[in-house]
Amino acid sequence: MHRCRYQQLIVWLTVLAGYLFTGQVIARDLPDFTKLVEENNAAVVNISTTQRVKRRFGMPPGMEIPEGHPWNDLFRRFFGDGGRGDGQGDDGHEGGDGGDEFDTQSLGSGFVLDKDGHVLTNYHVVRDATEIIVRLQDRRDLKAKVVGYDERSDIALLKIDAKNLPAVKIGKSSEIKVGEWVMAIGSPYGFDHSVSVGVVSALGRNLPSESYVPFIQTDVAINPGNSGGPLFNLNGEVVGINAQIYSRTGGFMGLSFAIPIDVAMDVITQIKTKGRVIRGWLGIRIHDVNRDLAESFKMKKPMGAAVVEVLQNSPAEKAGIQTGDVVVKFGKIKIHNSADLPLAVGQTPVGSVVDVQVIREGKPVTIAVTIEELPKEEELAKQESRPGKIKTDRLGLSVKNLTPEERNRLGLDKFGIRVTGIDKGAARNAGIAPGDVILKIGSKDVKDTRQFHALVKKLPAGKTVSVLIQRGESRTFLALKVPDGK
């Protein structure tokens, strides 16, 4: 009996020793960030800015959410740039601009690039600032000036009057891998030099309205005030700039996005050498291709960027790219989804001749395009693309011709008809709505209601065709399943 108990004790001690040993191995294999923090903390700075803003109508004093405030990202996500959801002016009246002006402060992060005082941060941290103060780890507060910025990539280069500053080491974001450990240092909610760690969740993320940055996604805790701070690898090198979070509450929810340092340093180099950032431009507006659209374009699988608009006098128009083409390859780069194309074009040197492969009516076509410089936002907004009522029972649509005034207002020349009504049927199932302007059905431009009626009668029953519509100022392709019968 005693011998049996002794054997059981030996077994339990062996199991316990194995458990403790395994736990020590696991703990020993986890990275130790203490040395990284000690070596890099001094190069991370707090950035505070002052902006002159107008008090929003209806907000009591002290309750305003000014531009650049750590909570402003949350309010902008729900209410737009004005912090309102009603499309009215700052004074609460349509088109108004009343309200008292006052100074407000906001916080962000940044890091020292070199010992001479160049500091890198996000552009949105210093946007519209009347004063920028950089606080160093030794508690010195120094005024900074903006050397240059690039709004499209959200990068800003600052300069402070100081020498022999501790600077970060710049790594290569092209070498990081999904799953590797990374560390952020910043000032969330104003708490200077806060450290958070995690892993790289994904690479090359494309976010809505951010066409020129292949973001690094991490699960590192990033909160308001972290913007502009560095993302380090285990070698103590900066591989990214913490820029955005995805949140429904305004706080961290496990999805953080950083600008790759390779992108940022290219921007900084152009700012220093040219005074501005130059990107390539193709001159098309695009849409993603889903399964139904792929079928309508006679493609085997959904991929590429569907061209919904070709801008006038653009490189694409000059080369012969057409609305309805699907771009599947740009030079040597395969376009898996629409977000891949702007990034590839933007990184192409101006003047380069690139072979662009498109799918046109189910067949591959290669077009040589000479890339031009991307215009400024205000210039790009001005770029334009190149009566009767008929009931179309087959699709359940009522349509009418556009008046000359409507064509002029919409920037349309020869094509397009207005949807005036819709019944149950294929068109409603596809997502077409009253007020939409139908520009193209299948591969055919829609000139007027008579031609549209003729095109609809010839649609193959049971097949899926693409319909290009304009809704407001945006264009999109919809996949329409043609009903059986006529």
Give the residue numbers annotated as catalytic, written as ranges. Answer: 124, 154, 227
Contact (Cβ atoms closer than 8 angstroms) between residue 200 and residue 217: yes
How many Å apart are CA 43 and CA 114, to the nearest integer?
Answer: 9
Residue 127 corresponds to which tokens in the numbers above?
């946007």
How many Å apart are CA 198 and CA 182, to the nearest integer?
Answer: 6
How many Å apart are CA 357 and CA 349, to the nearest integer?
Answer: 19
C-alpha closest to that of 262 among 211, 195, 216? 216
The DSSP output letter for 405 is H
Contact (Cβ atoms closer than 8 angstroms) between residue 190 and residue 225: yes
Following DSSP, what letter does each residue of 235-247 receive, concatenated?
TSEEEEEEEEE--
Cα torsion angle, 134, 136, 142, 148, sign: negative
- Residue with token string 């002052």: 50
Chain CA centroid to CA 48, Å: 25
| Residue 270 parent element (H or E) | helix 261-274
How many Å apart are CA 314 and CA 308, to the nearest integer?
Answer: 14
Contact (Cβ atoms closer than 8 angstroms) between residue 141 and residue 52: no
Which are the contacts of 369, defined by CB distance < 8 A and separation ≥ 6?
282, 315, 316, 318, 319, 321, 353, 354, 355, 356
First to last CA, the chain: 91
Angle (nearest 5°) at CA 130 between 127 and 135: 85
Q: Are strands 44-54 and 101-112 parallel, antiparallel or unpaired?
A: antiparallel
- Other CB atoms within a 10 A radius of the CB of residue 300 amount to 9
φ/ψ bin of 53: left (φ > 0), alpha (ψ from -120 to 50), beta (otherwise): beta
| Residue 354 parent element (H or E) | strand 353-360
Residue 253 corresponds to which tokens in the numbers above?
């929810």
Chain CA centroid to CA 59, Å: 31
Contact (Cβ atoms closer than 8 angstroms) between residue 96 and residue 103: no
Q: Are strands 169-170 and 237-245 parallel, antiparallel or unpaired?
A: parallel
